[in-house]
A and B are shown apart, each in its own frame.
Chain A
Amino acid sequence: RKEVEQDPGPFNVPEGATVAFNCTYSNSASQSFFWYRQDCRKEPKLLMSVYSSGNEDGRFTAQLNRASQYISLLIRDSKLSDSATYLCVVKFGSWGKLQFGAGTQVVVTP
């Protein structure tokens, strides 16, 4: 079983619609949580950190449920430019190494 599991998608979303997806993690010692965005053949880039109380950054809302060990991301008013792979990431260990899920592909269509 993978440490961080995500639905690979693709999630096909009409422009302007809302899409939500989540991931689960198995390491209860995970310390911090993030969503990274990765465009095709590019490096991952931090989208947002995820806090226990939930947090919002513009059209993006992230939630963390430590008891159930899952993290969610919601994108409102989807733009064509939101098309990407979204990587669920947990930080653990002494040195801040990151553990990535395999990613959820989102395709926003006109």
Chain B
Amino acid sequence: DTGVSQDPRHKITKRGQNVTFRCDPISEHNRLYWYRQTLGQGPEFLTYFQNEAQLEKSRLLSDRFSAERPKGSFSTLEIQRTEQGDSAMYLCASRTNLAGGPVGGNEQFFGPGTRLTVL
């Protein structure tokens, strides 16, 4: 499968625990995004990487959240001291850096997401 993959697909944790999610983007994609989606809402932007550099973070990303993309390939999103309000689907997306047509250049391809439940 050459699409975006995420691991784990589901995570149940107790409040106060730390969790880490992994995203493997499409191999030639140097741009990587994390989004969070809660029930009945659209995805909300969390953070953006271009290669290994984290270039933007949303105000939604509190100091309990940290994301890395150490070698410009896969990325991890860690949540420390989880709260019940962190329960959501965490989506990763990637795209190329190529300009050009709307599909080849602009499309963000989403992974299947990691569904987090904090008890």
Q: Footprint of B on A, CB under 8 Å?
A: 4, 8, 32, 34, 41-46, 49, 51, 87, 89, 91, 93-103
Contacts and interface: CB of A to CB of B under 8 A. Distances in A.
Contact of A49 (B45, B50, B103): B103
Interface stretch (B13-21, B61-69, B76-84, B108-116): B108-116
A46 B95 CA distance: 12
Contact of B56 (A32, A34, A95, A101): A95
B110 A44 contact: yes
A43 B45 contact: no
Given A32-B102, A102-B41, A103-B42, A43 B31 contact: no
A93 B95 CA distance: 15
Contact of A102 (B42, B110, B113, B115): B42
Given A96-B95, A103-B41, 18 more contacts: A34-B106, A42-B112, A43-B91, A43-B110, A43-B111, A45-B110, A46-B103, A49-B103, A95-B55, A96-B31, A96-B48, A97-B45, A97-B48, A98-B45, A98-B93, A98-B108, A100-B42, A102-B41
A84 to B, nearest CB: 13
A93 B55 CA distance: 12
B85 interface: no
Interface of B: 31, 33, 35, 40-45, 48, 50, 55-56, 91, 93, 95, 102-103, 106-108, 110-113, 115
Contacts of B103: 46, 49
Contacts of B102: 32, 49, 51
B106 A49 contact: yes
Nearest to B41: A102
Contacts of B50: 95
A34 B48 CA distance: 19
Given A32-B102, A42-B112, A45-B110, A98 B48 contact: no
